[in-house]
């Protein structure tokens, strides 16, 4: 195990949901790593070298070998460090975990951000509708305490975006997208998940992040006038 | 092995690159299956039951258990049927295979279709530029005969879209997006790959598909006038 843990770096940015996914997995598995905070306004030489394609965080660097894309990194971590598995062992269950994680990225991430940050009324309404439909699918998929059952797994980690970031950005405009009334099971799950010691320790502090997004929203508004 | 092969159905549509990916993997592994042709204009009860979320093909059904999303299906097939592996065994190489397959879906599929089917000149130019940039990344990634080395693998299968569908749709408008001059390594790869017995037997016939896309393009044009 020690050799695997020798050179583990994570190029990230505090406040990124995709970076947070990787941090949750590393914490769950007890892997020590060095966090390299990237300033995304002035991308570092290292970031451009390790992720020349997307030039984005997270980049996970294990013994000098870089990997990008948060879900790809999660799979890698689960394959290399076997303790506390995050993907189920059954192939069909693994397929479902991959399906729902991809679903969150494809159908919830962009629509829920645009539900707040679209200044065009019609586009915002369309995104709210699509995000709501997607959250309903996710609500129906939740059968136990976590998506993973009694313990959280790959899908729960991917869905940290829903538990933490969606409530954060919707508060900027007092949007009622993801509420306990509309999504009782998913809301309960989010409370349980955010309260899990591993997750709690890993989440970025809420207030500065809220201020950051609110600032971004206000400059958008100002620029549109 | 026999038990795994008992009830293998593929809900598909001839002419879909995503369905073709699954068919190549099944053929490579010698898995017998029943192909259920779906009419996407009138989606079947079975399709709606098995893929209520996206209502799209391919859906792979193994012993009554459905899986959607072509790359998720490929992973499943590779986990259940071990012969002729399509993902590398090394975790870092596996991560790269997943990264590049996702890259093809995120950066090439939609931009290359829109390079032909966008009627807005500015949007078309933007898509041609983005597709070209993405194809350059892919060209640079090709180090051997195949993306998988001496044998084709997961990335090659995902890239069937580039080998077969991109040339097909670009011919509709005589677009010079993917040519031997611009992408010599990728072009050679595409010829090798299309000529591989497994791939050759699996591809849909070119002419009716070309006629289908050309018809679609012409009705778009007509509708815009």
Q: Greatest CA span in chain A, whole angstroms?
A: 57
- pLDDT confidence bin for B18, thresholds 50/70/90: very high
Q: What is the pLDDT of residue B225?
A: 80
Sheet with B59-62: strands ordered across: B34-37, B8-12, B59-62, B65-68
Chain-wide mean pLDDT for chain A?
A: 95
DSSP state of B58: -
Chain A residue closest in CA terms to B64: A92
Q: Is B48 on the interface with A (CB under 8 A)?
A: no
The proportion of chain B whose per-residue pLDDT surpasses 90, expressed as a percent, equals: 95
**A98 vs B62, B72, B137: nearest CB:** B72
Q: What's the pLDDT score for residue B40?
A: 85
Nearest CA-CA partner of A18 in A58, A45, A51, A56: A58
Domain ranges of chain A: 8-80, 91-223
Examine the pLDDT at A208 and tell me if it is beyond 70. Answer: yes
Residue B224: per-residue pLDDT:
87
Of B79, B91, B92, the CB nearest to A91: B79
* Domain spanning B8-80: CATH 3.30.70.330: no
Q: How sure is the predictor about A40, in pLDDT bands with cuts at 50, 70 and 90?
A: confident
With beta carbons less than 8 A apart as the criterion, state whether B137 and B186 touch. Answer: no
- Which whole number is the average pLDDT over A94-110? 98
pLDDT at A148 over 80: yes
Contact B95/A102, CB-based, under 8 Å? no
Q: Does B78 touch chain A (CB under 8 A)?
A: no
| Most A-contacting residue of B53, B82, B154 (CB-CB within 10 A), to test interface | B53
- CA atoms lying within 13 Å on the CB side of residue B86: 28
Chain A residues within 8 A of B91 when measuring between CB atoms:
76, 79-80
The residue of B99, B102, B105, B130 whose CB has the most chain A CBs within 10 angstroms, and thus the best one to mutate to test that interface, is B99
What pLDDT digit, counting tens, does each position of B130-173 carry?
999 999 999 999 999 999 999 999 999 999 999 999 999 999 99
Q: Which residues of B touch A72 (CB under 8 A)?
A: 95, 98-99, 102
Which of B65, B91, B92 faces A92 most closely, judged by CB atoms? Answer: B65
Q: In this complex, do A91 and B102 lie within 8 Å of one another by their Cβ atoms? A: no
Opening angle at CA A101, ends A88 and A145, nearest 5: 60
User: Taking CB atoms and an 8 Å limit, are B137 and A98 in contact across chains?
Assistant: no
Would the CA dihedral through A160, A162, A164, A169 be positive or negative?
positive
* Dist CA A121 CA B176 (whole Å): 38
Task: Say what the pLDDT of residue A225 is.
Answer: 80
* Per-residue pLDDT tens digits for A16-30: 999 999 999 999 999
Residue B45, exposed/middle/buried by CB under 10 A (0-12, 13-18, 19+)? exposed
The rounded distance, in Å, linking the Cα atoms of A6 and B81 is: 34
Inter-chain touch B68–A96, beta carbons under 8 Å: no
pLDDT at residue B1, as a whole number: 43
Identify the residue among B31, B61, B72 best suited for mutation to test binding to A, counting A beta carbons within 10 A and taking the highest. B72
Q: Residue A73's closest chain B neighbor by CA?
A: B95
In this structure, is the dihedral angle defined by the CA atoms of residues A116, A121, A123 and A127, taken in order, positive or negative? positive
Report d(CA B78, CA B81) in Å as an integer: 5
> Measured between CB atoms, does A68 come within 8 Å of chain B?
yes
Using the Cα atoms of residue A93, residue A95, residue A96 and residue A102 in order, give the sign of their dihedral.
positive
Tell me: pLDDT of A10 over 70.
Answer: yes
Q: Is A67 on the interface with B (CB under 8 A)?
A: yes
> B31-79 pLDDT, tens per residue?
999 999 999 889 999 999 999 999 999 999 999 999 999 999 999 999 9
- Number of inter-chain CB pairs under 8 A, A vs B: 54
Residues of A in contact with B75 (CB under 8 A): 94-95, 98
List the single residue in A with minimal CA-CA distance to B92. Answer: A76
Asked if the model's pLDDT at residue B98 lies above 90, the reply is yes
Residue B31 distance to chain A (closest CA, Å):
17
| B10/B61 Cα distance (integer angstroms) | 6
CB A190 within 8 A of CB A174: no
Its CATH class, for the domain covering B91-223, is mainly alpha
pLDDT for B5 beyond 80: no
> What per-residue confidence (pLDDT) applies to B2?
43
A120 token code pair: 């065009």
Helix (H) or strand (E) holding B115: helix B110-117
Q: What is the mean pLDDT of chain B?
A: 95
A205 CB within 8 Å of a chain B CB: no
d(C-alpha A115, C-alpha A73), whole Å? 28
Q: A69 to chain B, minimum CA–CA distance in Å? A: 7
User: Quick check: A155 contacting B, CB < 8 Å?
Assistant: no
Which residues, numbered 95 to 124 in chain B, qualify as contacts with chain A under a Cβ-Cβ cut-off of 8 Å? 95-96, 98-99, 102-103
**Bond into A71 cis (ω within 30):** no
Which whole number is the average pLDDT over A203-208?
Answer: 97
Q: Closest chain B residue to A75 measured between Cα atoms?
A: B95
ipTM of this predicted structure: 0.96
Q: Which chain A residues have a beta carbon less than 8 Å from that of B53?
A: 103, 137
Q: Cβ distance A139 to A186 under 8 Å?
A: yes
């Amino acid at each position: 195990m020690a050799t695997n843990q020798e050179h583990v770096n994570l190029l990230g940015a505090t406040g990124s949901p995709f970076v947070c996914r990787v941090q949750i997995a590393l914490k769950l598995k007890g892997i020590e790593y060095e966090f390299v905070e990237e300033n995304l306004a002035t991308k570092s030489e290292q970031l451009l070298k390790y992720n020349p394609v997307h030039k984005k965080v997270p980049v996970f660097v294990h013994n000098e070998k870089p990997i990008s894309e948060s879900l790809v990194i999660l799979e890698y971590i689960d394959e290399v460090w076997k303790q506390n598995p995050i993907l189920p062992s059954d192939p069909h269950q693994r397929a479902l975990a991959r399906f729902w994680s991809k679903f969150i990225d494809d159908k919830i991430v962009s629509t829920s951000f645009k539900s707040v940050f679209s200044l065009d009324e019609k586009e915002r309404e369309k995104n709210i509708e699509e995000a709501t439909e997607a959250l309903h699918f996710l609500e129906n998929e939740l059968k136990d305490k976590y998506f993973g059952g009694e313990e959280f797994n790959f899908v729960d980690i991917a869905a940290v975006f829903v538990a933490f970031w969606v409530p954060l950005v919707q508060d900027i405009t007092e949007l009622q997208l993801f509420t306990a009334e509309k999504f009782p099971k998913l809301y309960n799950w989010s409370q349980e998940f955010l309260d899990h010691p591993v997750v709690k320790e890993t989440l970025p502090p809420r207030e500065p992040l809220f201020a950051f997004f609110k600032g971004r929203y206000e400059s958008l508004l100002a620029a549109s006038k």
